[in-house]
Amino acid sequence: MDIATQDYDKVSVMAVSGRVDSATAPDLENALKQLVDAEKNQIVLDLKDVEYMSSAGLRAMVSTLKAVKRVNGDLRLANPSPRVEEVLRLAGLTSIFSIHRTRDEAVASF
């Protein structure tokens, strides 16, 4: 898994690629926590290049969502592949996360 973060005006975009499973999800959670600790609470997670995600990845995303919601921020998702979207749907999270077709749409939604 690789992570690249880019700051826009008021929004941080974190692009994730590769596999997000129990081996890599802690790194994702830590990277997201660093943004939250730096008071960057408006976050877009670009999932375009995520080829696989298990419940460990969802756990990292949900814990971050809870943290940013408490300070009136949000974690919004962009570009989930059909495979990742199925996992989100199985977990009932498609109505919990704001999900956008593109990174630009997700950024503009803030």
Partner 1 sequence: MERRLSVPGRYDRLEQICNFVSEAAEAAGLDATASNRCQLAVDEACTNIIEHGYAGEDRGHIEIVCQPEPGELIITIHDHAPPFDPAAVPQPRLNVEVEDIGVGGLGLYFMRQVMDAVEFSHEDGGNTLVLIKRQEE
98 contacts partner 1 (rule: CB under 8 A): no
Q: Say if strands 2-7 and 12-20 run parallel, antiparallel, or are unpaired.
A: antiparallel
The one among 5, 21, 27, 110 contacting partner 1 by CB under 8 A: 21
Q: Which DSSP letter does residue 80 get?
A: -
Please choose, out of 2-10, 30-38, 48-56, 101-109, the segment that lies near partner 1 by the rule CB under 8 A.
48-56
Q: What phi, psi does 15 have (nearest 5°)? A: -95, 125
User: Residue 84's closest CA among 110, 65, 61, 108?
Assistant: 61
Residues near partner 1 (CB under 8 A), total: 23
User: Quick one: which of 4, 96, 102, 108 contacts partner 1 (CB under 8 A)?
Assistant: 96
Q: Does 109 bind partner 1 (CB under 8 A)?
A: no
DSSP 15-47: EEEEEESTTTHHHHHHHHHHHHHTT--EEEEEE
Binding residues vs partner 1 (CB under 8 A) = 19, 21-23, 52, 54-56, 58-59, 62, 65-66, 69, 83, 86-87, 90-93, 95-96
